[in-house]
Structure 1
Amino acid sequence: MRGHEAGTGGRRRRLAGVTISLRETDLGRTRRARRIGRVLADTHPDAHCELDHSNPLELAAATILSAQCTDKRVNEVTPKVFARYPQAADYAGADRAELEELIRSTGFYRNKADSLIRLGQGLVERHDGQVPGKLTDLVSLPGIGRKTANVILGNAFGVPGITVDTHFNRLVRRWGLTTETDPVKIEHAIGALYPKRDWTMLSHRIIFHGRRVCQARKPACGACTLAKLCPSYGTGPTEPAVAARLLKGPRARDLAAAAGVDPELVPDQDGSVEAR
């Protein structure tokens, strides 16, 4: 299926029955990006923020805790954290040892406790204890970087934002949508390819795909709905029976079926997904 052929557009790569130019025009890249977006919407209709929360402060705290930790583990820890610290002032005045013990299982708990305490202090001092709904205000707060700010804006305030986490970074580069490596530059490059209204859900769908299908070490190329649009097809196993075993999550068999692969090839799943 793979090979190279000459063409008027320069070198071209033939993958899964579709030819993708290695000198793709900006318009061609935009059109392919939009097609990828539509396929992702069909593939992952359940895509959403996987951090449990009921308000902006809870989402901010959960996002801080999610660094180098699975969302599943964060969601196991946060009920007690949210109950103990319902307001920004509670984080600001938290007993460090108590907070560290509550979040210990998320890893890097000392740094995370420091970020939560300083975030609470910043919110109390600058925003009357309320999480602001503007990017510039959010990124000026302790513990809130641009990625976290976009998570908060998109999921707590309905403000479109692109979340460039490790999965998003990996996939948009594998798909040849950008060659940038800096997260801010990636955010702007991908944002230019899609309508702003789609940014938040696009981020969720790409992250879902990265966790469930296109994993870092061995992507399930032979069971991927994007095979015909991906210039990196073949990075992982292309044999459907092998690729199907790499699919993750509670909808793994649905993902296989969507890619035209026998869902019975997918082993039983425990519902877990890859760490952030």
Structure 2
Amino acid sequence: MREVMTEPVIRRAESTDDLFAAAGRDYLLRSDAAPEESLADQGVAWLAADGGFAFGGSKEGPDLVDWLTVIGTPDTALTLLRRALAELPRPPHGFSVPRETDLGSLAPSELDQWDFMAFDPAWGVELAVLPGEERVAELLPSASADAEIGEFLKLANPSHSAKPGWEAIDAWGVVRDADGALLACGAYCRRDGGNGYLASIGTAPAARGQGLGTAVSSWLTRRSLANGDGFCALGHWHPNEPARRMYARLGYRTTHQMKSGRLAA
């Protein structure tokens, strides 16, 4: 007898408390979403009976989503994605789903694969002080700082995600040479109500192999934890084994393997 496959039971989350009661231990949710904000302000969410969920929001108004994030098994993720696209008044600009999700007839553009990693002191991992970390200095966002970092990242990390001037950037960690030229940088970011995360780590091509990117990442992680973040997170494009190994040495663990794409308007 052929086994009959049934789709997971999905319901609309009634409130932010409802969403976080069901999925509040998920690192990606805790990094991206603000539990103290209401879904009326933050957007909408869907919950699957097997533990999967989808969430997103927009500053343009309630029931709108700029970017939809879906977590769960590949089959559940696809069902959640279809449910959200059917119920939203307009499609989101894009979405993220688990990497193994079969998108079927959905044909997004700019499909990228990435890994989400987290460092949680609750795991009992101590963040060691690394050689070169003493060279890292704070650079606060400003017009001049944004211009300098922007030019530097064109070569140091052309695919950087956190663009200088982005409101979520709290501070930059930078390393300079004796003449003051940038050798490495990275951003400590924090969305309103969300958790701290690192982005746009970059090292000048001529300065690579000296551990400066690792030192910046360690310094930024320490800053995040000192700032009261329960954990620190980051994402990097996949495959990028050197980056994965660097973050793993610091104590980061991969919690989600994702892919993201954009949708036609």
Range into which the TM-score falls when normalised by the shorter chain: under 0.3
* Structure with the higher fraction of residues in helix conformation: 1
Q: What TM-score results when the alignment is normalised by the length of structure 1?
A: 0.25
TM-score (norm 2): 0.26
Structure exhibiting the larger radius of gyration computed from Cα positions: 1
Structure ranking higher in strand proportion: 2
